[in-house]
């Protein structure tokens, strides 16, 4: 049975509505990056600016579209029209001035409004109580340093929630260890580039606890799309607990001593740091509290023992082009190293 045109349109409308509802749900859950659900002061300012721009450009669309529709209807061909070319009208100083001056004024208004928002965000005063975090972009992962607390983490940023009664802004210093990257969490702020030998800054004051996702927004190599970001906005109590746990040295468990020996005798320790051990590498993520993270390889997969083992065995199976080499370990060595890393909580 064939469907009518009206039925097809109805089905399409239902499908679009369902997709919009599903997208809204995912945005609320923090699983989909979106600028449409701002949750910090910079993000709200950017969102309000976008609404202003949409209102102006939408008005232009309505006016231009309306004039085109009116012209098509009013000056359409009629059977009663005489043959030959209709009368031509040339030149109108008033109309030409209007369609020159009005667009210029619109562009000036948009420019000034955008500049005001940019300077308002960039020149915001830094409170004495602000949290400082240094963000370093690597191919293809993120390094987070908390100078005040002596904490180093990777890929999952923890910051405190901010409220009117207890404001808590986080100021980020952004730089790169290699190529250009771009730090972007749509619900918390705009994009800011990370450039080698140069420091850019941005700040966040998230208003609701939860998980906010983003990613590198500057093409930085073959695994740019898998350089994901997870920002955990914690309550003050949760953040203090997290900091205290991160400040602890790596857990020493005699039951996995064999795995630690494999880790230190192979090239692993040349790239990774494990606090309290001989491993002091700086090329890869700090693994001191690896199992406190929900994901591996900058969000490429869930942090499970099976995924961890496969990641050590063959990084390219998850992240083709990753700079971590396959260590060519035996199955016994893989089991021992995986067991050791599972104790790093």
**What is the reported pLDDT for 84?**
75
Of 268, 333, 271, 324, nearest to 297 (Cα)?
324
**DSSP helix, strand, coil percent of the chain (3-state; round to 5):** 40, 20, 40
CATH 2.60.40.420 fits 131-247, yes or no: yes
Q: Per-residue pLDDT tens for 332-345?
A: 999 999 999 999 98
Bond before 261 cis per omega within 30 degrees: no
Residue boundaries of the structural domains of the chain? 8-72+93-122, 131-247, 254-341
| Unique residue bearing structure tokens 């080698």 | 196
**284-303 per-residue burial string, b: 16 or more CB within 10 A, e: under 16:** bbbbbbbeebebbbbbbbeb
Residue 124: DSSP 8-state: P
Residue 198: DSSP 8-state: B
Q: What SS3 state is found at 156?
A: strand
If you write DSSP's letter for every residue of 11-44 in order, what string do you get? Answer: HHHHHHHHHHHHHHHHHHHT-S--TTS--SHHHH
Q: For the domain with range 254-341, which CATH number is right: 3.30.565.10, 2.60.40.420, 3.20.190.10, 3.60.110.10?
A: 2.60.40.420
Percentage of residues in the chain having pLDDT higher than 90: 62
Evaluate whether 131-247 and 254-341 have a shared fold: yes
237: part of which helix (H) or strand (E)? Answer: helix 236-247
**What is the reported pLDDT for 1?**
43
**What is the reported pLDDT for 320?**
83
Of 217, 207, 229, 157, nearest to 37 (Cα)?
207
Cβ 236 vs Cβ 166: under 8 Å: yes
Q: Which residues of the chain have pLDDT under 70?
A: 1-31
CA distance 148 to 133: 9
Q: What SS3 state is found at 192?
A: strand
């Amino acid at each position: 049975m064939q469907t009518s045109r009206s039925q097809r349109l109805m089905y399409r409308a239902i499908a679009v509505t369902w997709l919009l509802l599903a997208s809204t749900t995912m945005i609320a859950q923090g699983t989909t990056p979106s600028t449409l659900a701002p949750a910090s002061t910079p993000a709200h300012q950017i969102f309000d600016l976008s609404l202003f721009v949409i209102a102006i450009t939408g008005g232009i669309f309505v006016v231009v579209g309306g004039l085109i529709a009116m012209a098509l209807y009013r000056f359409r061909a009629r059977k009663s029209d005489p043959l030959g070319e209709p009368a031509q009208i040339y030149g109108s100083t008033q109309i030409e001035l209007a369609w020159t001056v009005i667009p210029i004024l619109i562009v000036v208004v948009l420019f000034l409004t955008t500049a005001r928002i940019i300077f308002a965000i960039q020149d915001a005063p830094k409170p004495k109580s602000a949290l400082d975090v240094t963000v370093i972009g690597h191919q293809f992962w993120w390094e987070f340093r908390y100078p005040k607390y002596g904490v180093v983490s990777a890929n999952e940023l923890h910051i405190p929630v901010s409220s009117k009664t207890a404001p808590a802004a986080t100021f980020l210093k952004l730089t790169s260890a290699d190529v250009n990257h771009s730090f972007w969490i749509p619900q918390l702020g705009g994009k800011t580039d990370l450039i080698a030998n140069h420091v850019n800054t941005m700040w966040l004051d998230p208003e609701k606890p939860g998980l906010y996702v983003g990613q590198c927004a500057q093409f930085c190599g073959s695994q740019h799309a898998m350089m994901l970001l997870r920002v955990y906005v914690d309550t003050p109590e949760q953040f203090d607990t997290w900091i205290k746990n991160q400040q602890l040295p790596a857990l020493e468990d005699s039951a996995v001593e064999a795995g630690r020996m494999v880790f230190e005798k192979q090239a692993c320790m040349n790239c990774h740091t494990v606090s309290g051990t001989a491993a002091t590498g700086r090329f890869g993520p700090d693994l001191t509290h690896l199992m406190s993270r929900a994901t591996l390889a900058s969000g490429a997969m869930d942090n499970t023992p099976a995924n961890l083992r496969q990641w050590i065995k063959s990084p390219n199976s998850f992240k083709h082009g990753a700079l971590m080499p396959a260590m060519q370990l035996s199955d016994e060595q893989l089991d021992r190293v995986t067991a050791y890393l599972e104790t790093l909580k």
